[in-house]
């Protein structure tokens, strides 16, 4: 079976670490490039976190240094949730920058995509700044992109502002560029991440899944959700799930637009399930137990693959 070529834009971030880890060791994915961007914390941390993770996992996927700020909006931060460096709870060994490929991320992604014999899937689990720059700078790149899969947006209330989800709120203009690209887009919104929590029993099972499991257990045990919810939520891996196990989700066609001018609604996702102009498929429900089993199995496979 041919592996699906994948480029990951990410802002690690604790749940990003889990999503990257599962992707790197999936038998169905061929991760061609990781593009750390600003997001949960500043770029200097997300870049180093990516390199440190690859050193820990013994992988060698090229890393392209992404954007250090949004296209237009002021930078925001989730350090209060993920810790100052983005990975509170586990001490990774410091890695060198030997995996960093010199050049602009948009150009490096473009070259990788256009050189690929198969269409490439883009996975966005942070602000979508780098994907927007790619699409604007190289509009012909859409010819060789299979789809864009993102964790972001919200059907109802937000987690950054009353109406805006964090990843979209981080760079609303970039998100709107992506949703207007004409490419197939799949969305794992905030509500899915809120639902796919990991129980304490499942967390203990993860902790027993070798060094990779212990690493993720340590990280997730140090997430401090602003709403005080004690459940462990695993937002970003839901987007990986949309690629690898779509059958556990309920998915609906929708038209998604991002508010870029409202005084009180800036960054809000307007998800219209009644529109005839469909530009995205949005997950609206998930089988929580099946997803948890898939997630735990992915952690086990990552630990086996690392050895």
- pLDDT per residue over 256-284, tens digit each? 999 999 889 999 999 999 999 999 999 99
pLDDT tens sequence across 13-30 = 899 999 999 999 999 999
Q: Kindly report the average pLDDT of the chain as a whole number.
A: 94
Q: What is the pLDDT of residue 283?
A: 98
Q: What is the pLDDT of residue 88?
A: 82
The average pLDDT across 244-255 equals 98
Asked whether residue 60 carries a pLDDT value surpassing 90, the answer given is yes
Cβ within 8 Å of residue 146, ≥6 positions away: 4, 118, 119, 120, 121, 184
pLDDT: which is higher, 160 or 253: 253
> Position of tokens 């197939």?
184
The average pLDDT across 6-15 equals 95
The average pLDDT across 290-299 equals 96
pLDDT: which is higher, 288 or 84: 288
Confidence of residue 224 (pLDDT cuts 50, 70, 90): low
Q: What are the φ and ψ backbone dihedral angles of 92, each rounded to 5 degrees?
A: -75, 145
Confidence of residue 230 (pLDDT cuts 50, 70, 90): low
pLDDT tens sequence across 118-162 = 999 999 999 999 999 999 999 999 999 999 999 999 999 988 899
Confidence of residue 46 (pLDDT cuts 50, 70, 90): very high
Please classify residue 159 by burial: count the beta carbons closer than 10 Å to its beta carbon, then call 0-12 exposed, 13-18 middle and 19+ buried: buried
Asked whether residue 307 carries a pLDDT value surpassing 80, the answer given is no
Distances (CA, A) of 205 to 17, 208, 295: 18, 5, 11
pLDDT: which is higher, 79 or 78: 78
């Amino acid at each position: 079976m041919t592996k699906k070529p994948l480029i990951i834009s990410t802002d690690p971030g604790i749940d990003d670490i889990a999503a990257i880890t599962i992707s790197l060791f999936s038998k169905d994915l061929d991760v061609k490039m990781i593009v750390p961007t600003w997001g949960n914390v500043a770029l200097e941390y997300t870049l180093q976190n990516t390199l440190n993770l690859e050193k820990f996992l013994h992988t060698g996927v090229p890393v392209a240094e992404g954007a250090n700020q949004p296209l237009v909006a002021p930078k925001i931060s989730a350090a209060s949730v993920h810790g100052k460096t983005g990975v509170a709870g586990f001490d990774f060994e410091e890695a060198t920058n030997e995996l960093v490929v010199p050049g602009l991320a948009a150009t490096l992604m473009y070259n990788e995509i256009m050189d690929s014999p198969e269409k490439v899937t883009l996975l966005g689990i942070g602000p979508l700044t780098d994907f927007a720059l790619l699409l604007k700078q190289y509009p012909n790149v859409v010819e060789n992109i299979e789809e864009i899969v993102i964790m972001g947006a919200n059907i109802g209330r937000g987690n950054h502002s009353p109406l805006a989800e964090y990843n979209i709120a981080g760079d609303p203009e970039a998100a709107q560029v992506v949703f207007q690209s004409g490419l197939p887009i799949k969305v794992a919104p905030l509500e899915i991440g809120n639902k796919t929590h990991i129980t304490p029993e499942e967390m203990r099972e993860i902790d027993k899944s070798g060094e990779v499991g212990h690493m993720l257990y340590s990280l997730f045990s140090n997430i401090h959700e602003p709403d005080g919810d004690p459940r462990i939520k695993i937002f970003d891996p839901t987007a990986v799930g949309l690629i690898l196990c779509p059958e556990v989700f309920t998915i609906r066609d929708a038209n998604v637009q991002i508010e870029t001018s409202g005084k009180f609604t800036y960054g809000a996702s307007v998800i219209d399930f009644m529109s005839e102009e469909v530009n995205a498929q949005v997950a609206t429900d998930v089988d929580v137990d099946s997803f948890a089993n898939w997630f735990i199995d992915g952690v086990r496979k990552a630990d086996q693959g690392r050895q």
